[in-house]
């Protein structure tokens, strides 16, 4: 029996139809199946080879896709974190805002209508016929109608009030409520914003809540910038396509396709670079922004963030600040044409700047008004009225960028002792200060003018100066100028210029002597002295006039600023004692007790000198000068109040004697030329100061209400060519004349007696003595033969005494 042939079944990956055909073809004894199987084996091998080659490619592609998806997801998560971190946290760094003192008005105040107008303008009030809204005023002759603004003071809020102020002869005659005529004893006008402390980017804004955004603004903004804002989810493809087609037709960029959300993302998170990556990021972040936050939140953030102009070095952001900057109005008070201008500026604050490109801005504004009209936001009559309105009235734009840089520098230096730099630049602090704009303006004006006049008279150029004015009673710094170009900033000479003070130190010498038993009549030797110290050259001090004046009374040595008398006196009472007195007055540092200190080699700034003389002006009480009254947080919480600090450092009787001698420096001494600027009845007390080779010119003095210190010199320390009486004194005199100072009436303390002395013998005058003067003494220290006169009216006594003596002398002529 023959064996059946062996059949090989080879599994092959074929379709089901092929498999059935193959199975039917297979039968015992049919050798064709072997060939068929070989064919299938070959095909299988080829397929497996191809699959072996493709599998790594597929795996690689899958891996790349997976990694890309993960990377994209992580990138989106990172962008999401950026969005939420900044939007949920503190969105903006708010600069500290600095305010001047509030203006208090009352009947009888010496204040002219022009002064009130100037101060209202500085505070951002608008002068127009519509005085019904807060922040407006209107002048009618000698009457000014004001609608004050709400303001948060440390003591609490003060609401807006409508008031009428009437003037007579440059004085406030009466104040009353507008409409009711109810008299008001005192009104307080909210203070002017005089500057702010910014971070590096110098952004500024007034933050608004959603409820503070008027419907007129919202409707106009959406009609112009994003008509489908409440419909899209951050990106509007239809808007992008529409803008693309419009730009292609125009051949340039004439329309943007970005939504408000995209614009906010670009301004808030991204740079202005024009790259594909930035555009992709903008779209992704806009979608994420809409995912997490409501439309109202996004709209409010946009209204506070958008850049709308430049104020010098300050960037104006947000509609709130732009409204104040361009129109001096709150956002809610803007008219249709004013809203149209702000919305129109969004497209290009530089290209449509109403100050620099008024024609382009006008066209853009009217274009926006046309859109408002077509969208029924305003009617036909409103549209015609708005297009006919002027762009911006003259003087309406209000700069708020550090109007008084030298004073702002002082404020910042004092705040650094209490707050970190980043707090000043980001926490939105409100700093209430002592700056009096009226005083500051006069200081700036007359410092610059008088220096120009001095340059012409002395034939010198590049003279510089600095000035400080304070309140005599409480030490508040009312004004400070660091140079003749007051608004330029830079080197602040009032604070940073440390120069020898010359004869301004002499009151410390004579105050020390009066405290050791000397009197104003004590004889001093104004004679040459030669001083030699180890390791130093022989020093031969001289008087300014190169003369010796022999035996002189103490008061006259101070009034005439005799160097030799001062040196001899200082050496007797002790240089170290004089230094201690100067330190008690307020001099900083610890100078070496060299004799030259007695003639003013100590270097001090005008502000430091002002602190010394403040103690003299305050009757011996040391009052730290201050420029800040209080600091409030962004939410108006009181953080710190800078109260008045007083410490008595010298007996009132001794200070009274010294200040009387300083009044003599004005009436008959080195500062007698002050009579050109102020009447003698003002009774100013003061002292001139001049340093070697006329390098520095000083004058420090005080009236009944103010103390002022002026320095004049050159920044390169070369001779200025002016003395204290010919340089600094004229500046001081011009400033004070403009401020109409009060008469200085020194308060005589108990224990003071007045007596006459003979100017030649320095003793009690004889019966027929004609050359005498009346001086105050501590009780029991006057001349031997005299009539004690306790009266304060020394001028009247002096006149009566001279009248009697002249009568007696006439008997013998």
User: What's the rounded Cα separation, in Å, for the pair 574 and 792?
Assistant: 33
User: What's the rounded Cα separation, in Å, for the pair 346 and 331?
Assistant: 16
Query: Do 173 and 197 contact (CB within 8 A), yes or no?
Result: no
Helix (H) or strand (E) holding 216: helix 215-225
Q: Which one from 148, 503, 596, 725 is the annotated catalytic residue?
A: 503
Query: Do 317 and 288 contact (CB within 8 A), yes or no?
Result: no
Q: Please report, in angstroms and rounded to a whole number, the separation of the first and last CA atoms in the chain.
A: 191
Query: Do 233 and 258 contact (CB within 8 A), yes or no?
Result: no
Residue 547: what are its φ and ψ, rounded to 5°? -115, 160
What six digits make up the tokens of 573?
Answer: 């009472």
Residue 32 among the catalytic residues:
no
336: Cβ contacts below 8 Å, ≥ 6 apart: 216, 369, 372, 378, 382, 383, 385, 386
760: Cβ contacts below 8 Å, ≥ 6 apart: 771
What CA–CA distances, in Å, run from 789 to 84, 312, 651, 776? Answer: 82, 63, 21, 9
CA angle 78, 80, 81 (to 5 degrees): 65
CA-closest candidate to residue 401, choices 318, 315, 323: 315
Residue 548 pairs in a beta bridge with none
Residue 225 among the catalytic residues:
yes
**How long a stretch of residues is the chain?**
813
What six digits make up the tokens of 91?
Answer: 């969105």
The owner of tokens 């009568």 is 807
| β-strand pairing of 136-140 with 126-127 | parallel
DSSP codes, 493-537: HHHH--EE-GGGGHHHHHHHHHHTT--TT-EEEE----B--TTS-
Q: Which one from 203, 225, 282, 464 is the annotated catalytic residue?
A: 225
To the nearest 10°, report the CA torsion of 402, 407, 413, 414: -120
Q: Is 422 helix (H, G, I), strand (E, B) or coil?
A: helix
What CA–CA distances, in Å, run from 572 to 183, 304, 377? Answer: 63, 70, 88
Residue 605 CB coordination number (10 Å):
22
User: What's the rounded Cα separation, in Å, for the pair 325 and 641?
Assistant: 30
Q: Is 430 helix (H, G, I), strand (E, B) or coil?
A: strand
Query: Do 23 and 17 contact (CB within 8 A), yes or no?
Result: no
DSSP codes, 197-215: E--TT-EE-----GGGS-H
CA-closest candidate to residue 377, choices 367, 389, 369, 385: 369
What CA–CA distances, in Å, run from 404 to 411, 437, 479, 738, 788? Answer: 11, 9, 9, 19, 52
CA angle 160, 161, 165 (to 5 degrees): 135
DSSP codes, 751-802: TEEEEEEETTTSS---TT--SEEEEEEETT-S-SS---B--S-HHHHHHHHH
CA-closest candidate to residue 731, choices 407, 456, 467: 467
User: What's the rounded Cα separation, in Å, for the pair 276 and 260?
Assistant: 19
User: What's the rounded Cα separation, in Å, for the pair 641 and 639?
Assistant: 7
Residue 759: what are its φ and ψ, rounded to 5°? -65, -20
Catalogue the active-site residues: 225, 503
């Amino acid at each position: 029996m023959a064996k059946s042939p062996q059949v090989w079944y080879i599994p092959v990956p074929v379709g089901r139809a092929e498999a059935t055909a193959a199975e039917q073809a297979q039968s015992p004894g049919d050798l064709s199946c072997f060939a068929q199987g070989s064919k299938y084996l070959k095909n299988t091998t080829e397929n497996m080879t191809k699959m072996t080659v493709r599998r790594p490619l597929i795996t690689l592609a899958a891996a790349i896709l997976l990694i890309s998806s993960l990377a994209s997801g992580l990138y989106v998560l990172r962008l999401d974190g950026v969005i939420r971190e900044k939007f949920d946290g503190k969105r903006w760094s708010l600069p500290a805002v600095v305010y001047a003192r509030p203006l208090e008005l009352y009947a009888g105040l010496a204040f002219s209508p022009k002064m009130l107008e100037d101060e209202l303008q500085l505070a951002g009030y608008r002068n127009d016929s519509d005085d019904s809204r807060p922040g407006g005023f209107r002048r009618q002759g000698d009457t000014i109608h004001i609608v004050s603004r709400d303001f948060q003071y440390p003591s609490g809020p003060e609401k807006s009030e409508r008031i009428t102020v009437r003037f007579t002869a440059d004085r406030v005659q009466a104040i009353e409520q507008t409409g009711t005529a109810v008299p008001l004893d005192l009104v307080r006008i909210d203070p002017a914003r005089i500057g702010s402390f910014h971070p590096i980017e110098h952004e500024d804004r007034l933050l608004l809540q959603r409820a503070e955004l008027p419907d007129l603004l919202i409707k106009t903004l959406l009609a112009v910038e994003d008509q489908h804002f409440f419909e899209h989810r951050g990106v509007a493809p239809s808007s992008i396509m529409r803008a693309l087609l419009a730009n292609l037709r125009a051949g340039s960029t004439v329309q943007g396709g970005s939504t408000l959300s995209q614009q906010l993302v670009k301004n808030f998170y991204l740079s202005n670079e024009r790259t594909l990556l930035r555009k992709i990021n903008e779209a992704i972040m806009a979608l994420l922004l809409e995912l997490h936050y409501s439309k109202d939140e996004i709209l409010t953030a946009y209204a506070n963030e958008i850049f709308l102009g430049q104020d010098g070095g300050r960037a104006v952001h947000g509609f709130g600040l732009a409204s104040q900057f361009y129109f001096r109005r709150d956002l809610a008070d803007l008219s249709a044409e004013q809203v149209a201008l702000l919305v129109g500026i969004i497209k290009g604050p530089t290209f449509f700047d109403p100050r620099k490109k008024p024609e382009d801005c006008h066209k853009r504004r009217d274009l926006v008004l046309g859109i408002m009209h077509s969208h029924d936001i305003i009617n036909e009559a409103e549209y015609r009225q708005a297009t006919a309105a002027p762009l911006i009235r003259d003087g309406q734009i209000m700069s708020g960028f550090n109007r008084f840089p030298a004073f702002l520098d002082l404020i910042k230096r004092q705040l650094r002792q209490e707050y970190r730099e980043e707090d000043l630049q980001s926490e939105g602090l409100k700093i209430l200060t002592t700056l009096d704009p009226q005083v500051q303006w006069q200081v700036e004006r007359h410092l610059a003018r008088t220096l120009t006049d001095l340059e012409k008279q002395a034939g010198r150029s590049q003279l510089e100066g600095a000035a400080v004015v304070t309140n005599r009673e409480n030490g508040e710094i009312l004004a400070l100028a660091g140079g003749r170009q007051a608004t330029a900033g830079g080197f602040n000479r009032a604070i940073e210029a440390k120069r020898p003070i010359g004869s301004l130190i002499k009151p410390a010498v004579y105050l020390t002597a009066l405290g050791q038993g000397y009197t104003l009549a004590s004889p001093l030797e104004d004679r040459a002295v030669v001083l030699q110290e180890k390791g130093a050259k022989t020093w031969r001090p001289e008087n300014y006039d190169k003369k010796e004046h022999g035996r002189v009374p103490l008061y006259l040595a101070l009034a005439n600023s005799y160097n030799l008398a001062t040196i001899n006196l200082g050496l007797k009472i002790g240089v170290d004692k004089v230094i201690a007195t100067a330190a008690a007055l307020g001099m900083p540092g610890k100078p070496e007790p060299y004799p030259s200190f007695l003639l003013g080699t100590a270097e001090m700034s005008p502000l430091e000198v002002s602190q010394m003389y403040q103690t003299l002006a305050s009757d011996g009480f040391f009052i730290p000068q201050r420029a800040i009254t209080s600091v409030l947080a962004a939410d108006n919480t009181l953080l710190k109040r800078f109260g008045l600090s007083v410490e008595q450092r010298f007996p009132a009787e001794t200070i009274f004697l010294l200040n009387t001698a300083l009044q003599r420096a004005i009436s008959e001494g080195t500062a007698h030329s002050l009579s050109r600027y102020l009447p003698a009845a003002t009774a100013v007390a003061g002292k001139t100061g001049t340093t070697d080779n006329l390098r520095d010119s000083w004058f420090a003095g005080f009236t009944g209400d103010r103390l002022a210190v002026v320095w004049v010199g050159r920044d390169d320390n070369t001779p200025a060519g002016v003395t204290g009486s010919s340089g600094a004194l004229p500046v001081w005199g011009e400033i004070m004349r403009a401020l109409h100072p009060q008469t200085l009436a020194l308060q005589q303390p108990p224990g003071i007696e007045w007596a006459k002395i003979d100017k030649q013998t320095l003793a009690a005058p004889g019966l027929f003595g004609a050359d005498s003067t009346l001086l105050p003494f501590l009780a029991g220290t006057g001349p031997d033969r005299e009539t004690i006169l306790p009266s304060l009216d020394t001028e009247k006594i002096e006149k009566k005494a001279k009248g009697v003596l002249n009568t007696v002398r006439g008997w013998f002529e």
